[in-house]
Every structure is written in structure tokens, then in C-alpha cells.
Amino acid sequence: MNEQRMINVLDNGYVRLVNVMGSDLTVANSARVSYDKESKELTERDIRLIKFLAREGHTSPFRHAILQFEVYAPLMVARQWWKYVVGSDHVMDAWNESSRRYITEYPAFYIPKADEWRSAPENSKQGSGEPIDIKIGEQHTKALMNYVKLGEDLYEQALHNGICAEQARLFLPAYGMYVRWYWTASLQSIAHFLNQRMAHDAQKEIQEYAEAVYELVKPHFPVSIGELVKEESD
């Protein structure tokens, strides 16, 4: 099944659902095969079964449903996302990322607006607190823009002077630079990612990406994702 729906995230980013294999019925039938049973269409009995599987932690049937996404996000989001994937004990995860060893497309960078800078939290070494005063935010937005411009100029100069792309990229500011990748994962793995990254204490930027993934998954697996992922109430 091909799907082209895309959700924009942050200033330049997006999540695009590329392919889907399976449905809620796939989950139910994967569980019923133990008894040599199969449903032709999703019934109330199948829905009760899916709820039972999720409630009791019988997760293997959810690994028979697969989704593929294209993601464009700042490197700081990508590396946090990737750290989750390599640390996951779930099967059916694949990750392929664009490389500036081979491409020299004009780089894009995530630059928070003046009212988007956040303070350090009072009681934790990670995460963020309340918004910073907008005047201070303006100073740091301008400083970041100047920093990015300097890096871009040095990058272009290195390419112009014949330096290879895989070394010229050293001049590009890293953490805010957008990167593009394909992520293919089982429904179980995606649900685990969503529960981790939609949590209130997750970094705000990756929360926004996780919410986009969630919105793209829901129409295809409304029962399963509703049981596997519990949205936090405000």
C-alpha cells in the first residue's frame, strides 16, 4: 500500500508516511493463527482480542504490521531517535540516512524563533523549563543565524577550493542541521517509540515529531495504536 500523507514539523521538517503493510485485522489474525483461525474482516471479537493482547503484553502479533516513514529533522532529533532505535530490543527496525559524503545539497538548519528558546529546568540536568525572555531569545536567534552563516560560507569555500564533500562538511554546524532518513519499523516498535517520545518529559522538538508519527499511524491502526499508546492528559 502506498501513502503520501505528510505532516510538517518545526520550521523546515516533516514526517511522511511512505508505506504501510497490514491493519488491525493483521494483528488479530496473527494471534488467531495459533488456533488455525482467520477473520476476513475486523469484528467486535477481533477488537476485543487486540485489546486483550495489548493489555496483557502479548506483543508479537503487533510486529506483523510494518510502517515506513521518511523523516526530515534536525540532527539533534535524529540522533536521539537513532539512540532509541539501536537500544530497542524489538525486531523489524531499519534506518537509512542521507549522507553528506555523497550529497552537497544546500543545507537547512533549525533556528528557534525569539519566543521559542527555553530555560534550563530547575530540578533536572536535562530537559527544559519555561520560555526565556523574548529579548534574550532575540539575541540568541541572531547569534545562531550568524554562526550558521559562517559555517555555510566556510563549507562553500572548501567545496570551491576542491576539498571533498566528506571533509568540507566539518565546517557545517552540526546539531541544528537537517538530515533526511527512512525509518521502517513494526507497529510494536513504533508504539514503544511513541510512548517514550510523546511523554511530557521528552525533548519538545522530538515530541512534535512523535506526535506527527502518531497522527499518521492512527488512520491505519485505530484500535491497535489506541491500545498500545496512551495519550497523556493535560
* Catalytic residue positions, numbered: 197
- Per the CB < 8 A criterion, the answer to whether 20 and 3 are in contact is yes
**Max Cα–Cα distance, the chain, nearest Å:** 68
Residue 50 CB neighbour total at 10 angstroms: 23
**13-21 vs 93-97, strand pairing mode:** unpaired
Nearest C-alpha neighbor of 69 from the set 227, 230, 199, 189: 189
- Per the CB < 8 A criterion, the answer to whether 29 and 39 are in contact is yes
List, as one string, the DSSP characters of 140-178.
HHHHHHHHHHHHHHHHHHHHHTT--HHHHGGGS-STTBE
Nearest C-alpha neighbor of 20 from the set 219, 207, 196: 219
Question: 106: buried, middle or exposed (CB in 10 Å: 19+, 13-18, 0-12)?
Answer: exposed
Residue 89 CB neighbour total at 10 angstroms: 6
Strand ranges in the chain using DSSP code E only, listed in sequence order: 6-9, 13-21, 66-74, 93-97, 178-186
Residue linked to cell 508505506? 19
